Amino acid sequence: MTLFSILDLAPVPEGKTPGDALRNTIDLAGHADRLGYNRYWLAEHHNMTGIASAATAVVIGQVAAATNRIRVGAGGIMLPNHAPMVIAEQFGTLESLFPGRIDLGLGRAPGTDQRTLRALRVDPMDSDNFPQDVLELQAFLAPVQPGQPIQAVPGAGTEVPLWILGSSTFGAQLAAMLGLPYAFASHFAPDALMQALTLYRAKFTPSEQQATSYAMAGCNVFLAPTDEEARHLFTSAQQRAAGIFRGVRGLLPPPIDDIETFWSPMEKAQASRMLQFSFVGSPETVRRGLKQFVTQTGVDEVMVASAIFDHAKRVRSYEMLAEVVKDLAGEAAAA
């Protein structure tokens, strides 16, 4: 059975504050815990006024404290921004407090622009060391070896599960080589999805953490009682996507009645390609779309993002999605 999880970028809607967004995150995580979702991930972004999850490990701790069952983690930590030992200590601390519930997804992109990288004291070339940094981090989380001079405390021996994140074939090759689970960011970068999944599965080498390949893919879901209402909610994401191509990254805008008056034909084409794997509509419409997506990709897990402006309607979307997931599981069991 394909599992479903949530990626929450802690979006900051227009008229709200980062504090509001973080409180919404904690509330949504509680619903996700009760609704049966498998994981709840947060992502590292910097200098983005519309995303409140920059201090990712801190937010993960708050979410884990507010939930009981669901796995909580990073999707992901941009490892070139940090010393591997510091990340081992942070996530070793989380695993020590919430044993068996913490995931650590790792990306090599900076999660920001070049100017902000300088503010973070990061050399843009540090991303070239990503494979070595992953191995170093893995060693810090492993049991202490005899005579090991430097230990991550907490961290050593926690063996927090690592994931490789990516939007190209580079991450797929690295995840396969290291024998780690792989998550593809198809919710905003869909082009190389099938190529990356094929490469990952073909090249996968078993490891102590992962005996067989395990692939996850991201998508956007906007669910409402009717197709019309869902399409209305989706215009927030469409505006934000068009803003990226305009060089504008701001707060999450409210939905609008007519998206066609907002963007140019070129922006529409660019944003629509970026949001290709978005399933928008009533439960039946979304069920059909997700069923096709799972069949097409063969992924073990789907990571769902839903940048819905109104928090209550975002919660409602995930409640409705949980029912859709049950229907899909029933269909799979009966097949």
Q: Looking at the DSSP assignment, which residues form a beta bridge with residue 302?
A: 4, 217
Residue range 77-87: mean pLDDT, rounded: 95
Which DSSP letter does residue 263 get? Answer: S
Q: Per residue in 232-284, pLDDT tens? A: 999 999 999 999 999 888 999 999 999 999 999 999 999 999 999 999 999 99
Is residue 230 within 8 Å of 224, Cβ to Cβ?
Answer: yes
**The pLDDT of residue 249:** 86
Tokens of 215: 């692939």
Helix (H) or strand (E) holding 42, with range, is strand 39-42
Overall residue count recorded for the chain in this entry: 335
pLDDT band at residue 31, thresholds of 50, 70 and 90?
very high
Cα–Cα distance for residue pair 84/316, rounded to 1 Å: 38
Q: Looking at the DSSP assignment, which residues form a beta bridge with residue 42?
A: 8, 74
SS3 letters across 123-175: CHHHHHHHHHHHHHHHHHHCCCCCCCCCCCCCCCCCCCCEEEEECCHHHHHHH
Q: Per residue in 190-210, pLDDT tens? A: 999 999 999 999 999 999 999
* Coil, helix or strand at residue 194: helix
Residue range 79-106: mean pLDDT, rounded: 97
Is residue 42 within 8 Å of 74, Cβ to Cβ?
Answer: yes
Residue with token string 């009760």: 34
Q: Which of 195, 196, 191 is nearest to 270 (CA)?
A: 191
Mean pLDDT of the chain, nearest integer: 95
Is residue 136 within 8 Å of 108, Cβ to Cβ?
Answer: no
Cα–Cα distance for residue pair 147/127, rounded to 1 Å: 30
**The pLDDT of residue 111:** 60
Neighbours of 1 (CB within 10 A): 10
Q: Per residue in 96-139, pLDDT tens? A: 999 999 999 999 976 667 787 788 887 777 678 999 999 999 99
Is residue 59 within 8 Å of 120, Cβ to Cβ?
Answer: no
CA max distance for the chain: 66
pLDDT band at residue 333, thresholds of 50, 70 and 90?
confident
Distance of CA 161 to the CA centre of its chain: 15
Q: Which of 193, 180, 190 is nearest to 297 (CA)?
A: 193
pLDDT cut 70: percent of the chain above it? 99
Which DSSP letter does residue 333 get? Answer: H
**The pLDDT of residue 142:** 97
**CB within 8 A of 203, min separation 6: which ones?**
172, 173, 176, 177
**The pLDDT of residue 127:** 75
Distance of CA 19 to the CA centre of its chain: 20
